[in-house]
Structure 1
Amino acid sequence: MAYASALLRDPARTYREIDLAGRTAVADGPALVQLLYEELIAALRTSAWAAENGRYAVKSERVTRATAILFALENGLDFERGGEVSTTLARIYAGARRRVVDASIGHSGAPFRHVADELDEIAQAWKQARAA
């Protein structure tokens, strides 16, 4: 019953979670990486908004989500086949994770936006590579 009332309190969030779960279930490796980037960037941008608007519970939840996605992206790297690209991405993800955690104790949205913008560049390159 508590779960049902939680769903009714925020139906938009419930829809987004169901939509993401559905898209994730049918995504192959490259499509899953694209979804992870989209979710990561959205979580970082929401963290920025929440920090600036005093919505600390939202910020905390989104920071947790962003760091989990960064771990997932790093864990999915294939160092044997990816070589230097995988090594570089691992460094980028680890650095982004550190900056997000450091920013989580502050009240500025700027660090979250900066990390989101940097990762969005990688996401766009990934999207173009998939389309080619």
Structure 2
Amino acid sequence: MTYASTLARDPFATYRQIDAVGRTATADGPALVQLLYKELVAALRAAAWACEKRKFAVKSERITRATAILFALEAGLDFEKGGQVSETLARLYGGARKTVINASLGHDPKPFRDSADMLDEIAQAWRTASAA
């Protein structure tokens, strides 16, 4: 019953959730990281849009998603194999999380856009490294 009522309220959100679950189920390590970055950047851009449009429920949902993804990316770091790169990424994810949480208290879309742009650059580096 819960699933049906959720579907009736927002079928697009339900589709995106099912789509994301399907893509993560078959993704290997690098592909999963790329997918997480894609979802993270999309969530941050949607939070910025929601700030501008004063869609506070959407903003809250997207911030929650972005924060959860940042935690997942940090939890997936291998500090033994990754060494200084893992430490740098951990600081970056922590800083981005702090920026997002601080920005969640206001209505300025800029911190969300800036974070999305920065993380999109890292995502591009992951795509380039994975293609090599």
- In 1, the alpha carbon distance for the partners of 2:15 and 2:71 equals 25
Q: Tell me, what secondary structure is at the counterpart of 1:108?
A: coil
2:65 is equivalent to residue 65 of structure 1: yes
Q: Tell me, what secondary structure is at the counterpart of 1:39?
A: helix
Alignment partner, residue 121 of structure 2? 121
Structure 2 counterpart of 1:117, one-letter code: D
Gaps of at least 5 residues in structure 2 are none
- In 2, the alpha carbon distance for the partners of 1:83 and 1:2 equals 44
Q: Tell me, what secondary structure is at the counterpart of 2:105?
A: coil
Structure 2 counterpart of 1:52, one-letter code: E
Alignment partner, residue 79 of structure 2? 79
Structure 1 residue 55 displacement after superposition: 0.7
Q: Tell me, what secondary structure is at the counterpart of 1:120?
A: helix
- In 1, the alpha carbon distance for the partners of 2:11 and 2:93 equals 32
Greater CA drift, 41-50 or 1-10: 1-10
Structure 1 residue 34 displacement after superposition: 0.7
Alignment partner, residue 105 of structure 1? 105
Q: Tell me, what secondary structure is at the counterpart of 2:24?
A: helix
Alignment partner, residue 15 of structure 1? 15
Aligned length: 132
Structure 1 residue 6 displacement after superposition: 2.1
TM-score between both structures, scaled by the size of structure 2: 0.96
Alignment partner, residue 131 of structure 2? 131
Gaps of at least 5 residues in structure 1 are none
Alignment partner, residue 88 of structure 2? 88
TM-score between both structures, scaled by the size of structure 1: 0.96
Structure 1 residue 8 displacement after superposition: 2.2
Structure 1 residue 2 displacement after superposition: 4.2
Structure 1 residue 13 displacement after superposition: 1.6
Alignment partner, residue 47 of structure 2? 47
- In 2, the alpha carbon distance for the partners of 1:17 and 1:6 equals 11
- In 1, the alpha carbon distance for the partners of 2:6 and 2:72 equals 27
Structure 1 residue 16 displacement after superposition: 1.2
RMSD across aligned C-alpha pairs, in angstroms? 0.9
Alignment of 1:24-39 (within 5 A): 24-39=24-39
Identity rate of aligned residues, in percent?
70
Structure 1 residue 97 displacement after superposition: 0.3
After superposing on structure 2, the runs of 4+ consecutive aligned residues of structure 1 that deviate more than 2 Å are none
